[in-house]
Structure 1
Amino acid sequence: MIIKQFKLIYFRTPIIVKLLITILILMCFFGILIHFVEPSQFPTIFEGIWWAFVTAATVGFGDFAPVTTSGRLIGILLILTGGGLIGFYITSIASGTIKREQDIEYGRLVYKGTGHLVFVGWNERTRQLIKVVLENNPNENIVLIDRTLRHVSFNEYPIHFIHGDATEDTILAKANIRHADRALITAELIKNERQADTYTILATVAIRGNNENIPIIAEVLSKTQIENALRAGATTIVRSNDFMSALFYHELTHSIAVTPFEDILHILSKQQFLHLPLAPELEKKQFAAISHHLLKGDHLLLGIIRDKQYRIHPSADFVLEHGDVLVTLARL
């Protein structure tokens, strides 16, 4: 039973640790041996071990050296065995470091942190979002899951990349989805709308199955798939098609040149949209009065949510009621 447990521990031990233990045992053996063979040259066992390490590492300080034939034969044997082991140990460390860097770049390494953001899908929107998030919070940890991207340079994008399918539990486990703070699923634009939405919904189901409480923001292209995404467990639905259509219409109906919309989006990236429950003391008050009240706290009131319906910029005399949710814009 003891032998079986020892074998189990031995085979589970990383090769670097095995090599280090072997080198330590071998150096101690040669150090003790040379001490007994030439006690005058090596008065203590520690000095013998010191000589063994210096000789095997081919450093050769020359402070200790065997003078007898027996001692020199031991030195030759040490060089042939210990020197090769130490060289292999150093090479293993170097190759292990390179392999780890490659595993990070090619998305093979498990993420072990907590409280991170999980992004599913790599596209221009994701790239810009990563940039905005890190500009506003450089300490934010981001894990990207994508099945089409081959590798991500950490120097260019300081994120943790996981290569794989976000609908698979093993891939989500690599991203440590159970301890993530939020998840964002972007649509795969290289596919048609139905296929892209199907993947988004399946990824939502998989994420919700692995983490019951995580907020999931899902991008849906087709209006008919919104209910399915909500049933799958998405907490927020983003319909980029509707937004882009409204933006195009706005540009088509305005002949006078205005500030480029991307500049406006950059400004908005420095702000934060918030949903605030209506405080009891603000019930039965008009929209204008509540808006003035919130401005004192650096909150710009955009509208409300009532019965799951958005009402943006209602009239000034619009009266708010119990259960309304305020939609505000605040500085980050």
Structure 2
Amino acid sequence: MNDRFLKLLYHRVPNILKLLLLVLITMPIFGFLINLMEPDRFPTVFDGIWWALITGSTVGYGDFIPETIPGRLLAAFLVLSGGGLIAFYIASLSTTVSKREKKSQEGKLAFHGNNHYIFVGFNERTRRLVDLIIRHYSNKKIVIIDRSLDNLSYTKLPVHYIKGNATEDDILHMAKIKDAACVFIAADNQKTDYESDTQAILTTIAIRGNNQDIPIVSEILSEKQIDNAGRAGATTIIRSNDFMSSLFFHELDPEVQATPFEDIYHLLTQQKFIHLPLPDSLIGKTYSEAVPPFLEKGYMVIGILRGKDYMLHPKIACVLKEKDIVICMVHR
């Protein structure tokens, strides 16, 4: 039983560790032997080990040199055997690092970490979103799952790429879905709206099946699939087509002298939305009376969320009620 266990353990140990173990065993043996052969020249075993390591690696500082014929024969044998062993170890180490780097670029390595963001689908929109996260939250780790890329050319850290289909449990486990902080599912612009939404909904179901509590932000293109995405478990649904259509309408409106796209873009890059519960002291107060206390704390109030109703820039005489949520913006 013990022999079988040792054989199993030996075959499971990576070759690079086997070589390192062999080096760690061989060098002390040569150090011990040279200490026995030339105790005057090598006073301690440690001196012998140091000589064996330097000689075997062909560095040769020359601080310890054997003087007797047996000692020099041992040195020659060390150079022929130990030198090749150390060189082979270094070459194996370089090869291992190179293979790991290649696997990382090809998306074949599992992620090791927690509290990270997962992005399903990589495109220009996702890339810009990753840039924003790195700019504002430099310590946040990011995992990108995409099945269409052969390798990820994005070089900014900390980004980890996994190639595969996010509807498969194995791929989600590689991305450590159970330890992630949030998931964003991007629409696939290479597919029709229906196909893209179907894929997003299936991905949402797979993610929710592996993590019941994780927030899922899903981009849906078709209005008909919004309810299905919600039933699948999406926490937030981004209706990009509706948003862009509304934005284009404002850009094309001849009566509006403004630049809505630029205004919203700079607003979102410099500010962030935040929802705050209405303090008890402001219940029953008017909207105009509630705004100043928030401004003093650095929050710009833009409206009230009452249940599912958004009341943006309400009338100043609007009376606030219990359980109202104050929608604010604050500097990043």
Normalised to the residue count of structure 2, the TM-score between the two structures is: 0.90
Q: Name stretches of at least 5 consecutive residues in structure 1 with no aligned partner.
A: none
Q: 1:133, CA displacement in angstroms? A: 1.6
Aligned to 1:303: 303
Separation (CA, whole Å) in 2 of partners of 1:7 and 1:41? 41
> Are 2:34 and 1:71 aligned?
no
Q: 1:260, CA displacement in angstroms? A: 6.7
Separation (CA, whole Å) in 2 of partners of 1:265 and 1:290? 28
Aligned to 1:149: 149
The Cα offsets for residues 103-162 of structure 1, whole Å up to 9 and x where unpaired, read as 332222222222221111112221111122222222222221111223234534642222
Aligned to 2:225: 225
Q: Please say if residues 251 and 260 of structure 2, whose CA atoms lie closer than 8 Å, have aligned partners that are also in contact.
A: no
Matches within 5 A, 1:86-125: 86-125=86-125
The Cα offsets for residues 54-100 of structure 1, whole Å up to 9 and x where unpaired, read as 22111223343444444333333222211111001111222222223
C-alpha spacing 1:324/1:77, structure 2 compared with 1 (3 Å)? same
Percent identical among aligned pairs is 48
Partner amino acid for 1:96?
Answer: T
Between 1:25-34 and 1:117-126, the stretch displaced more is 25-34
Aligned to 1:246: 246
Matches within 5 A, 1:220-299: 220-254=220-254, 258-259=258-259, 261-262=261-262, 264-299=264-299
Separation (CA, whole Å) in 2 of partners of 1:197 and 1:33? 72
C-alpha spacing 1:274/1:46, structure 2 compared with 1 (3 Å)? closer
C-alpha spacing 1:131/1:46, structure 2 compared with 1 (3 Å)? closer
Matched residue SS, 2:328: strand
Q: Please say if residues 250 and 260 of structure 2, whose CA atoms lie closer than 8 Å, have aligned partners that are also in contact.
A: no
Matches within 5 A, 1:6-17: 6-17=6-17
Separation (CA, whole Å) in 2 of partners of 1:91 and 1:139? 34
Normalised to the residue count of structure 1, the TM-score between the two structures is: 0.90
Q: Please say if residues 143 and 160 of structure 1, whose CA atoms lie closer than 8 Å, have aligned partners that are also in contact.
A: yes
Q: Name stretches of at least 5 consecutive residues in structure 2 with no aligned partner.
A: none
> Are 2:213 and 1:213 aligned?
yes
Separation (CA, whole Å) in 1 of partners of 2:178 and 2:124? 27
Between 1:316-325 and 1:268-277, the stretch displaced more is 316-325
Separation (CA, whole Å) in 1 of partners of 2:262 and 2:156? 22
The Cα offsets for residues 271-296 of structure 1, whole Å up to 9 and x where unpaired, read as 11122233333333333333344323
Between 1:51-60 and 1:196-205, the stretch displaced more is 51-60
> Are 2:1 and 1:5 aligned?
no
Q: Please say if residues 136 and 270 of structure 1, whose CA atoms lie closer than 8 Å, have aligned partners that are also in contact.
A: no
Q: Please say if residues 120 and 145 of structure 1, whose CA atoms lie closer than 8 Å, have aligned partners that are also in contact.
A: yes
The Cα offsets for residues 253-285 of structure 1, whole Å up to 9 and x where unpaired, read as 136663472354133222111222333333333
Number of aligned residue pairs: give it. Answer: 332
Matched residue SS, 1:269: helix
Between 1:137-146 and 1:95-104, the stretch displaced more is 95-104
Between 1:223-232 and 1:258-267, the stretch displaced more is 258-267
Aligned to 1:189: 189
The Cα offsets for residues 222-244 of structure 1, whole Å up to 9 and x where unpaired, read as 11111111111111111011110
Q: Please say if residues 283 and 320 of structure 2, whose CA atoms lie closer than 8 Å, have aligned partners that are also in contact.
A: yes
Q: 1:196, CA displacement in angstroms? A: 0.8
C-alpha spacing 1:64/1:297, structure 2 compared with 1 (3 Å)? closer
Partner amino acid for 2:244?
Answer: M
C-alpha spacing 1:299/1:47, structure 2 compared with 1 (3 Å)? closer
Separation (CA, whole Å) in 1 of partners of 2:230 and 2:20? 54
